[in-house]
Amino acid sequence: MKILVTGGAGFIGSNFIRYFLQKYSQYQIINLDKLTYAGNLDNLSDVENRPNYRFVKGDICDSELVNKIVKDGVDAIVHFAAESHVDRSIYDPVIFVKTNVLGTQTLLESALKLKLDRFIQISTDEVYGSLGREGSFTESSPLLPSSPYSASKASADLLVHSYFETFGLPAIITRCTNNYGPYQFPEKLIPLFITNALFDQSLPIYGDGLYVRDWIYVEDHCKALDVILHQGKVGEIYNIGGGNEKTNLGITDLILQKLNKPKSLIQHVKDRPAHDRRYSLDCSKIKTQLGWKPSTPFEEGIAKTVDWYSTHQSWWQKIKSGEYLKYYEKHYLLRESY
C-alpha cells in the first residue's frame, strides 16, 4: 500500500508515520507538509533515510502538486494537515479557513478523480462544541463549534461527508480527543508546562483552570487509525478517546509532581474567548465494531512524556528560541493576571 500522509511533519502525523514504517515495512509513505510553524523535519530524522519513505514540501491547496503525487500510485490519503491551535485561530482566522477547508477540498477532488481506495479525515472532538458536567458526544451528536479552528474542522468534515454521499468517495472521518506524547509542539498545554517547569518558568493557566479535556497518548491514537484505515467502514465517523478526563489544573499539578516543582509556578491568566468548558467522547462504536481500545494508562503516558521532554531538550529549545518564543511572549506572558 502507498499512503499519502498530509501534515506528516507535525506532532500526530510524524508519530503516525513512524508507527506505520515500523509496523508495515512493505508500505510506502509519502509525507506532504508545508513546514509551517509546527511542521518540523527533526520529528522524523530517525526515518528520513528509509527507502519506503519520501518527504515532499508543499501546500495541500496546490492542486497541481497534489494531483502529481496522487497519480504516482497512491492508494490512500490520511489527512492530518491543518492549522490546529485555537488561540491562533482567534488572532488569524483566515489561514484556518484556507488550509483546513479549501485544502481539504483540494485533496478530496484529487482522491475522487484518481479513484483512491480510502480517504481518512483526521478531525477533532472540538467540532461538537462544549458539554456540561454530564454526558458524552456520540458520532451522531450535532456539530456546534465555538472557535474559528473548530468551525474550520467541522466545515472540512461536512465536505468529506458530502463527497461520500454525493460522489461515493470511500471516506472515513475520525474525531479524537486531546493527544499528548513525544514531538508535540510546545505551545500546547502539556509540553508547554513541562518545558517551562523544567526551568522554573511560570505556567499560564486560563481562567480557573477547571476546563475538562479527555487525553489520549499519541501512540494509542495511531493504533486506532491503523485499525480504521484497514477495517473501518466507508462513510462512517469514529470517535477516538483515551477515557482520561482531566482538568487543566489537575494536569498541571501532576506535571509539577513528576518534576518535583512548586505550585507557585502556576499563574492564572485572563481566559480566552469562547473557551469550551468540557469535552467528552463516547467511543463505544470503535471499541465494539473494530475492537480497538486505548492501552496506555494516563499515569504511564504522562510519565513517559515528561521523561521524553526532559531528555530531548535540544529538540524543543530550538523551537522555543525561535518563532514560537515571539508568539508565546505576545499571547501568554503579556496577558493580565486573572
Instruction: Look at residue 109 and tell me if it is in a domain.
Output: yes
Termini Cα distance of the chain: 52
Together in a domain, 47 and 124: yes
Cβ atoms of residues 281 and 175 within 8 Å: yes
Nearest-10 crossing angle of helices 63-70, 103-113:
40
Give the whole-angstrom CA distance, residue 286 versus residue 140.
14
Together in a domain, 129 and 204: no
- Considering the candidates 53, 128, 149, 183, report the single residue annotated as catalytic: 149
Q: Which amino acid is at 91?
A: Y
The grid coordinates listed for 251 are 494536569
Instruction: Look at residue 85 and tell me if it is in a domain.
Output: yes
Instruction: Look at residue 282 and tell me if it is in a domain.
Output: no
Together in a domain, 186 and 175: no
Together in a domain, 20 and 114: yes
Together in a domain, 175 and 193: no
User: Would you state the pLDDT for residue 83?
Assistant: 86
Within 10 A of 122 (CB to CB), how many other CB atoms are there? 25
Instruction: Look at residue 290 and tell me if it is in a domain.
Output: no
Cβ atoms of residues 305 and 182 within 8 Å: yes
Give the whole-angstrom CA distance, residue 78 versus residue 76.
7
* pLDDT, tens digit, 9 for 90 and up, residues 231-252: 999 999 999 999 999 999 999 9
Together in a domain, 256 and 140: no
Q: Report the Cα 221 to chain-centroid distance in Å.
A: 10
Together in a domain, 14 and 102: yes
User: Would you state the pLDDT for residue 325?
Assistant: 52
Instruction: Look at residue 289 and tell me if it is in a domain.
Output: no
Nearest to 216 by CA among 187, 246, 252: 246
3-class state of residue 274 by DSSP: coil
Overall number of domains in the chain? 2
Give the whole-angstrom CA distance, residue 293 versus residue 178.
16
- Considering the candidates 33, 83, 125, 214, report the single residue annotated as catalytic: 125
Q: What is the pTM of this model?
A: 0.93
Q: Where are the beta strands (DSSP E) in 34-133?
A: 53-57, 76-79, 118-124
Instruction: Look at residue 286 and tell me if it is in a domain.
Output: no
CA distances from 101 to 64, 95, 281 (A): 17, 10, 24
* pLDDT, tens digit, 9 for 90 and up, residues 124-148: 999 999 998 889 999 999 999 999 9
Q: Where are the beta strands (DSSP E) in the chain?
A: 2-6, 28-33, 53-57, 76-79, 118-124, 171-176, 178-180, 203-206, 212-217, 237-240, 245-247, 266-269
Together in a domain, 10 and 98: yes
User: Would you state the pLDDT for residue 330?
Assistant: 54
Q: What is the mean pLDDT of residues 37-60?
A: 94
Asked if 149 is an active-site residue, the reply is: yes
Together in a domain, 207 and 137: no
Indicate if the pLDDT at residue 338 is higher than 80: no
* pLDDT, tens digit, 9 for 90 and up, residues 180-193: 999 999 889 999 99
Instruction: Look at residue 35 and tell me if it is in a domain.
Output: yes
Indicate if the pLDDT at residue 158 is higher than 70: yes
Instruction: Look at residue 292 and tell me if it is in a domain.
Output: no
Give the whole-angstrom CA distance, residue 107 versus residue 234.
17
Together in a domain, 15 and 136: yes
Percent of residues in the chain assigned helix, strand, coil, to nearest 5: 45, 20, 35
Beta pairing, strands 245-247 & 212-217: antiparallel
Question: Which domain CATH number covers 36?
Answer: 3.40.50.720
Asked if 126 is an active-site residue, the reply is: yes
Question: Which domain CATH number covers 310?
Answer: 3.90.25.10
Among 79-93, 209-223, 321-335, the range of highest mean pLDDT = 209-223
Domain housing 206: 182-213+245-276+297-332
CA distances from 296 to 213, 281, 292 (A): 17, 17, 12
Cβ atoms of residues 115 and 169 within 8 Å: no
- Considering the candidates 33, 59, 83, 126, report the single residue annotated as catalytic: 126
Together in a domain, 32 and 144: yes
Together in a domain, 327 and 303: yes
